[in-house]
């Protein structure tokens, strides 16, 4: 049979046998064919595609990566150069045997050779998958980045491995960078991790207040919701309301109106107008809970006293309804809103109402909001009393509590007390923020308090916080307002 077959005819035979997985027959026929003569009486000479069929047959019969490399080396006897497909078959054998180091070296060799054997999508997929499996995260991410520069189409398996590895190792910024690059490439912009992985990403982003990654997680979820609705039969997916509340908090802390809008839209689409919105979410849209770093365009809600009172009365009515609804977080928003309009009386009355009218217990955020309200009117003594009372009740202050107390002392130009609070803050395990330290430094400069300024710089060095310069502020502070040049 082999004497009557040329290269093209043999390729057709192999293609037929591959569908029925006749690997031993392919191997045997190829080895017999190359030892036979063609119609002109010359030894049969395979081309690279035919030889790759032979390599694949050996791979499927259990040949090791070393065996395949020997066969690749024998291609020189037929004046053939191995191409990308040849080396990919070797990489598959290495992948099967988990020979990670050898696979990485072979990939590097392919990158250095000519165009015929440059790595393709399959090459990068095999090596990157091995590196992730071997927990060599940095090396895997290096090849992901390199592959994307070359236009590599990343597989969903590698993408999921990349996502889970980056999240588990806390490499969230790296993950954001990879997603950014994928979104700019036509072949990768449709990538979307599994639904469970989307929730995993969102939770990690919320923990670290990474607004961009949280936005991408919601974007992936929106894709899954749209796919489910268009499927037949439809698969109706819904985002957990608690997750949305948390993303609203992240949006507030990071001043991200983009994440705020995305959270709201995903929730509305998820509920499909068949369920009323949780009151926490309605208030959370305007004042992300657990923090008051709100987007400036939404600040209008909290400088409108009549609107604040309307929300309070609505909450009061809800608490007396047949199915009562009560929320400390919602009332905390009212306290904060009153503080923003300098209405200390209503802020304190709302704080008191948390326990007396609603039967709830104020949490750490309630006390922080009240301290903020006292600080707005320069009532440092009262703010300090609130802090002491909170501690006496066994409520553990958070970093925001200490920062507010520092701000209250700085309002009264009391740098020494502010630094004492920072020292106490450090002693219980918190790290002062760069913004807090800069506020103290400005007050030290204004008061010409060089001793406390030195203490402050020691703290900044201790926590490796680069304070930077404030040239523009200093220029304004040092302006000569005399009339000599009038």
* pLDDT over 90 (residue 148): no
428 domain-assigned: no
The Cα 193–Cα 35 span in angstroms is 51
42 domain-assigned: yes
Determine the pLDDT at residue 479: 59
How many CA atoms lie less than 13 Å away from 270 in the CB half-sphere?
20
Tens-place pLDDT, residues 385-442: 999 999 898 888 888 888 888 888 888 788 778 888 888 888 888 878 777 777 877 7
The Cα 421–Cα 405 span in angstroms is 7
16 domain-assigned: yes
| Nearest residue to 47 (alpha-carbon basis) of 24, 4, 14, 18 | 14
Determine the pLDDT at residue 295: 39
Three-state secondary-structure class, residue 237: coil
* pLDDT over 50 (residue 276): no
* pLDDT over 50 (residue 301): no
The reported pTM is 0.55
The percentage of residues in the chain with a pLDDT greater than 90, rounded to a whole number, is: 16
Determine the pLDDT at residue 88: 92
* pLDDT over 80 (residue 322): no
Determine the pLDDT at residue 149: 84
* pLDDT over 80 (residue 27): yes
Q: Which domain holds residue 8?
A: 1-93
Q: What does DSSP assign to residue 395?
A: P
Band (pLDDT 50/70/90 cuts) for residue 90 is very high
321 domain-assigned: no
* pLDDT over 50 (residue 168): yes
443 domain-assigned: no
Total count of domains within the chain: 1
Cα–chain center distance at 269: 23
What's the mean pLDDT in 306-325? 76
87 domain-assigned: yes
Q: Note whether 72 and 55 are within 8 A (CB).
A: yes
The Cα 57–Cα 54 span in angstroms is 5
* pLDDT over 90 (residue 213): yes
Determine the pLDDT at residue 296: 39
The Cα 127–Cα 121 span in angstroms is 10
103 domain-assigned: no
Task: Give the range among 35-49, 189-203, 292-306 with minimum mean pLDDT.
Answer: 292-306
| Nearest residue to 238 (alpha-carbon basis) of 227, 225, 223 | 225
Determine the pLDDT at residue 115: 76
Q: Which residue has the higher pLDDT, 270 or 477?
A: 270
Determine the pLDDT at residue 280: 46
Determine the pLDDT at residue 244: 82
306 domain-assigned: no
Q: Note whether 46 and 80 are within 8 A (CB).
A: yes
Task: Give the range among 373-382, 410-419, 449-458, 472-481 with minimum mean pLDDT.
Answer: 472-481
Tens-place pLDDT, residues 342-388: 788 888 998 999 888 888 888 889 999 999 989 888 888 898 899 99
Three-state secondary-structure class, residue 99: coil
* pLDDT over 50 (residue 256): yes
Tens-place pLDDT, residues 41-64: 778 888 888 889 899 999 999 889
* pLDDT over 90 (residue 219): yes
Q: What is the mean pLDDT of the chain?
A: 81
Determine the pLDDT at residue 190: 86
Tens-place pLDDT, residues 229-252: 888 888 888 888 778 878 877 887
* pLDDT over 60 (residue 302): no
Residue written as token pair 């996502």: 163
């Amino acid at each position: 049979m082999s004497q009557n077959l040329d290269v093209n005819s043999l390729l057709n035979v192999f293609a037929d046998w591959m569908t029925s997985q006749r690997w031993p027959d392919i191997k045997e026929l190829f080895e017999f064919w190359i030892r036979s003569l063609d119609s002109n009486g010359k030894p049969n000479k395979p081309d690279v595609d035919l030889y790759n069929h032979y390599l694949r047959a050996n791979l499927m019969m259990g040949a090791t990566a070393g065996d395949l490399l020997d066969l690749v080396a024998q291609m020189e006897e037929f004046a053939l150069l191995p191409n990308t497909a040849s080396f990919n078959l070797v990489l598959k054998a290495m992948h099967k045997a988990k020979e990670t180091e050898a696979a990485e070296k072979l990939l590097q060799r392919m990158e250095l050779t000519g165009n015929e054997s440059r790595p393709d999508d399959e090459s990068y997929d095999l090596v990157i998958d091995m590196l992730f499996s071997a927990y060599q995260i940095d090396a895997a991410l290096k090849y992901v980045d390199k592959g994307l520069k070359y236009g590599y189409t990343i597989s969903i398996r590698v993408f999921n491995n990349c996502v889970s590895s980056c999240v588990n190792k806390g490499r969230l910024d790296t993950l954001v960078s990879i997603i950014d690059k994928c979104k700019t490439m036509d072949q990768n912009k449709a990538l979307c991790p599994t639904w469970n992985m989307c929730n995993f990403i969102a939770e990690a982003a919320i923990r670290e207040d990474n607004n961009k990654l949280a936005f991408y997680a919601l974007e992936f979820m929106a894709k899954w919701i749209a796919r489910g609705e268009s499927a037949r039969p439809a698969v109706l997916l819904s985002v957990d309301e608690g997750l949305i509340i948390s993303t609203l908090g992240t949006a507030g802390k990071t001043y991200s109106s983009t994440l705020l809008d995305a959270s709201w839209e995903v929730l509305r689409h998820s509920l499909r107008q068949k369920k009323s919105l949780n009151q926490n979410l309605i208030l959370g849209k305007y004042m992300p809970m657990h923090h008051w770093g709100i987007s400036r365009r939404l600040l209008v809600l909290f400088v409108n006293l009549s609107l604040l009172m309307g929300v309070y009365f609505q909450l009061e009515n809800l608490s007396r309804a047949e199915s009562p609804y009560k929320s400390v977080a919602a009332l905390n928003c009212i306290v904060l809103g009153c503080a923003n309009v300098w209405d200390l009386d209503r802020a304190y009355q709302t704080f008191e109402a948390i326990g007396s009218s609603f039967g709830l217990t104020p949490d750490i955020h309630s006390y922080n909001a009240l301290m903020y309200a006292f600080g707005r009117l320069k009532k440092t003594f009262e703010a300090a009393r609130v802090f002491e009372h909170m501690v006496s009740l066994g409520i553990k202050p958070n970093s925001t509590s200490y920062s507010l107390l520092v701000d209250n002392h700085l309002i009264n130009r009391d740098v020494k007390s502010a630094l004492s609070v920072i020292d106490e803050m450090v002693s219980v395990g918190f790290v002062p923020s760069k913004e807090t330290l800069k506020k103290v430094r400005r007050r030290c400069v204004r008061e010409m308090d060089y001793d406390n300024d030195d203490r402050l710089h020691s703290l900044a060095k201790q926590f490796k916080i680069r304070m930077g310069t404030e040239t523009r502020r200093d220029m304004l502070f040092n302006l000569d307002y005399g009339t000599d040049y009038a």
